[in-house]
Every structure is written in C-alpha cells, then in structure tokens.
Structure 1
Amino acid sequence: MPSLRRYRLPSIILATAIALGVTVVWLAPNADASELCGRTDAIDIAGKRHVVMNNVWGADTAQCLTVDQDGGFTVSHSEHDKRTGSAAAYPTIYQGCHWGNCTLDSGLPIKVRDIRAARSSWRIDTADADGRWNATYDLWFHTSADVRRSPDGAELMVWLDRAGGARPAGTLVARDVALAGAVWDVYYADWHWNYIAYVRVDPTDRVDDVELAAFTRDAIGRGYLDRDWYLSGVEAGFEIWRNGTGLASNSFRVEVTS
C-alpha cells in the first residue's frame, strides 16, 4: 500500500549484458545464507547490482530474512499482527533506486516514454506461509531524473498473489483488464504520489518474461502516469500485515530496454 518506505556476499552466479541500453541480471538460489533481522537491514548482491532489504517500515514487531549468496530470500521469522491499515513490512529485492540507495548498472532511471520493454521473471514459494500478505512488484516513478530522493510521481504495484484478505489501498476503478497475458483488477489512490495496483484475478507463484511496460502504458492511458516521469526502481517482494513466515523469493530477473 502507499507508504513512506525507508528501508557482502561472495560466490555469486551472475550474468550481466549491457548493450543498446539493456541491463540483465539473473539471480538463482544458493544454500549458503546470511540473516537480516534489523528493521532497515539490507545486503548488496552481485556487486550491488541488486539489493535485498528486510524493510520493516509499518510496525515495531520482529522480522528476519535468510538471504542466500545469489539473492534468493525467505521470511524466516515474523511476529507481525496488523489487522488494519498499512502493511508492517515489505521484504524485497530490487534493481534501481530506493529512497536514494541505488544499485549499479541497472538501466535506471529511464524516462517512461523511452521504455521499449521492461521484462521480468520472478519465482516465489508461498506454500508454507499463512497470515495476511501479498506477493507484488512495486515500481517507483520520479517526476525528474533526480532519483536519489523520495519518489514523488507514482507507485505502480503488480500483485501476483495474496492471502488473508489482503487488498490494495484506494478504490477499485476497473475489473477484468487483460494485460501481459493475464486478467487484473485495477485500484487507484491519490496519496503523496499516484498509487496504482493491478491485482491478478488468478493468483500465480511465477511469471516468465512478464512485460511490466504493459502496466505503465495502461496507467498512462488512465491518466495516472506521465510519459515524462522516470522509472527509478523495480522491486519484488511481499507486503506483510500478519505472520508471513515461510514466504520465499527464489529467483528474480529484470531487463529494461530503452
């Protein structure tokens, strides 16, 4: 939901290709793991081409992540028990910038009108998790190229799965919208920035080469996103209100083409 989110590993399997404005980073799971338990703890992955954050921003309750050496992460401990309001946390992996903390060689920021494609693959495991949570992309937009500050343009979420009655902020503005090979319900709220959430009607635990630019184009058509704003960060993780122990992000890839 809309939020003021604040927020060393060797042996990394990494493939990076930079050509014609394209940056690709693939992260696969590894048994060796580190632990994040501080509210704002984060780990730089693959020479800071990605960052994994514990990111407990909406509650004082405890949460820990185990992060393998190649960027997969699991919520190993959660004491969250929020019944109303915003989420307690958004543990995530991201590429680009998050409140001034920017990864390297991300292809971001990029002006929205210059995005030719923004493809991503993400695989998650929610089988062992109960509670109230979602599994979602979170795309952030700035109104200028100065992205080492808080976002001021838009937040665009793409919900793949949810449990326990989790729902987006704002108002339902459209049902059964066909985008990127699936069907979505669309929510909108006007907060500190424009908030747009696309909720998958049929939940899934994986997407392969999903075209995130399809959602930006749809948001432009609805008047919620400006072509002259900048995509500054692509995040993938779990908004958690209650429990969430066992939620796992197994692999993540994002490719932005200008």
Structure 2
Amino acid sequence: MQHRRPRLSKKAKTFASALVALAAAAGVTVAQAGESSKKCAAFDTVTLGKYYVNNNLWNQEKAVGSQCVWDNSRSGSTISWGTNYSWANSATGKDYDVKTYASTVLGWHWGWKTDKAATQLPIRVGDRKPVRTTWDFTVSSNPGVMNVAYDLWLHTKNTADWQDQPTDEIMIWLNRQGGAGPLGTKTASVSLGGAMWDIYEGDIGWKVHSFVRRANTTKATLNLDDFTQALVRRKLLTNDKYVSGIEAGTEVFKGTGRLDSKAYSVDIG
C-alpha cells in the first residue's frame, strides 16, 4: 500500500531539518516521517552500517501473499527496523513450511554484502570471543504462525564465500506464535541468559541446532558464545568451526502480522 506524504508547515519543516542535523552530528541515522525505505521485492536489502536488512523470501513459491522490510534508524552498532507480511499457503505449501525469513544480517549470508572487516566475522568457536547482543522488539497481535529468532551460520573455514555451504546452523527462538515448532527432535534442555531453553537437533544437508525458549519474550540480552559452548559441551559442535554469519528476524509459516525491532545490536569481543 502506498501512503501519501503529509504536508508540513514551513515551521515544522525547519524543526524537522534541525533534528536531522543534530542527529547526523551525533552519528545517528534518522528515518523521517513519511520517508519510508520500505522494500517489498524478494531479496531486497537495506544497508545499515555493518548490517543489512534482507527481505528473504526464500520459500515464497509455497505461499501466496507479500512481505516488506524497512529501516528506521542507526546509532553506532544499534539499529531499528521492521517487517510486515501476509502469507497463505499456495497449492504446494503446507502449514509446517517456513515461507520467509525477513532478517537483519551481520556477516556471511551466501557471500558478503557489507565490509567484511567491519563485521568482525568470522570467529572461531574455540576462541571464546564474547558475542553480546541485545534485541527489543514487538510482535503484532494475532501474527499467524511465526517465530522471532536468531540464525547463526557456521563453516569449517574462515574464508567462506557464496559457494560454501554451511556445516551447521544455530537458531535461537525468543518468541513463537500460532504453534510454530522447530526442525528435528528435542535432545536436551539448558539454562542460559536467565531462561530455560529446549535444544532440538535436525539435518537438512547441514546440522540445524535450535534453542527454543520455553517462555516467550520480547527483550533479550545474550552472549551468543554461551549457546555455541552449550553445544560443544554436548559434543554437538566442535571448537574448530567458525561463526560466519549472525542474523535475526522472523520466520513466517503463514498469517498476517508485523515485527518491529525497536533496538537491535551485536558487538563482538
């Protein structure tokens, strides 16, 4: 849907310009009212410093509908962005099929889009570097079948590029709605970051390790190294693997809804 821009008075325009100038001086990117960066085509991206937002409609042939992404702001390593969607099953789609994963990407996602050095990735699991992340988000009411989750990609080498398939994928589910469930079989439970998580193991040509939070949340402050080491201790992951990419967004199975990431950040080391 196209939204008509509201007319601003000369005084309002001057005030808005002053706010933008002050924000720019402080290193803050401000999304001005009515100037949406909304992008709705498959795999459209919006760059936000070391991250980019990816309208990842990777399985859309199994769905009928649409999804858009947009950016709001950036201040240092903290960004704000959003996505809305409306999906129903196509003739080939099933309720349990993930259709899309609109997300913010740091590092590798079948190649590198932003400056690799700025991402500080990849990192070797055994080096035990802290990977501190915060995420404050809201989910619309009745959002269908979906989750809000991190997605980490791992390789056997630190030079992975577009042609290199991952060996492992780690998903960290913070919130799930409408009966959404992870791939694979539950194998263990663990207490991390002040919450209980169930660990599921699956395989889709690479290993998929899913941490599913028992109680939904809309705020997280985590060290992602805690999750990789929880797998190492259970001999589900080896210390010689490299974390190449860190993503965060919503997997949508079906339904209509919206995710607003009010503040998201990842800081390594």
**Under a length normalisation based on structure 1, what TM-score does the superposition of the two structures give?**
0.82
2:259 is aligned with 1:247: yes
2:218 is aligned with 1:215: no
One of 123, 129, 140 as aligned partner of 2:153: 140
* Deviation string, structure 1 residues 10-50 (Cα, Å, up to 9, x no partner): 9887999xxxxxxxxx999775421111111111112xx11
Residue in 2 that maps onto 1:130: 143
Three-state SS of the structure 1 residue aligned to 2:230 is helix
Residue in 2 that maps onto 1:155: 169
Any conservation in 2 of the 1:172–1:186 contact (CA below 8 Å)?
A: yes
User: 2 CA distance for matches of 1:56 and 1:103?
Assistant: 20
2:241 is aligned with 1:229: yes
Any conservation in 2 of the 1:128–1:247 contact (CA below 8 Å)?
A: no
Gap change, CA 1:115 and 1:159, over 3 Å in 2: same
Three-state SS of the structure 1 residue aligned to 2:60 is coil
- Aligned residue identity for 1:221: R
Any conservation in 1 of the 2:53–2:70 contact (CA below 8 Å)?
A: no
Residue in 2 that maps onto 1:89: 100
Gap change, CA 1:29 and 1:182, over 3 Å in 2: farther
**Structure of larger gyration radius:** 2
Any conservation in 2 of the 1:124–1:248 contact (CA below 8 Å)?
A: yes
Residue in 2 that maps onto 1:23: none
Return the offset for 1:129: 4.7
- Aligned residue identity for 1:51: Y
Residue in 1 that maps onto 2:178: 164
2:196 is aligned with 1:183: yes
* Deviation string, structure 1 residues 131-178 (Cα, Å, up to 9, x no partner): 000000001101111221344221001100000110000001113x21
One of 219, 222, 234 as aligned partner of 1:206: 219
Any conservation in 1 of the 2:29–2:73 contact (CA below 8 Å)?
A: no
Residue in 1 that maps onto 2:133: 120
Gap change, CA 1:249 and 1:201, over 3 Å in 2: same
Any conservation in 1 of the 2:46–2:70 contact (CA below 8 Å)?
A: no
Any conservation in 2 of the 1:133–1:166 contact (CA below 8 Å)?
A: yes
Three-state SS of the structure 2 residue aligned to 1:72 is strand
Gap change, CA 1:28 and 1:137, over 3 Å in 2: farther
Residue in 2 that maps onto 1:192: 205
Identity, in percent, stands at 31
Structure 1 stretches lacking a partner, 5+ long: 1-9, 17-25
Any conservation in 1 of the 2:151–2:172 contact (CA below 8 Å)?
A: yes
Return the offset for 1:250: 1.7
2:72 is aligned with 1:63: no
- Aligned residue identity for 1:55: N
| Structure showing the higher helix proportion among its residues | 2
User: 1 CA distance for matches of 2:39 and 2:263?
Assistant: 18
* Deviation string, structure 1 residues 99-148 (Cα, Å, up to 9, x no partner): 10243201101111113211100111013352000000001101111221
User: 2 CA distance for matches of 1:114 and 1:225?
Assistant: 14
Any conservation in 2 of the 1:36–1:67 contact (CA below 8 Å)?
A: no
Three-state SS of the structure 2 residue aligned to 1:34 is coil
Structure 2 stretches lacking a partner, 5+ long: 1-19
User: 2 CA distance for matches of 1:248 and 1:106?
Assistant: 23
Three-state SS of the structure 2 residue aligned to 1:237 is strand
- Aligned residue identity for 1:249: S
**Under a length normalisation based on structure 2, what TM-score does the superposition of the two structures give?**
0.79
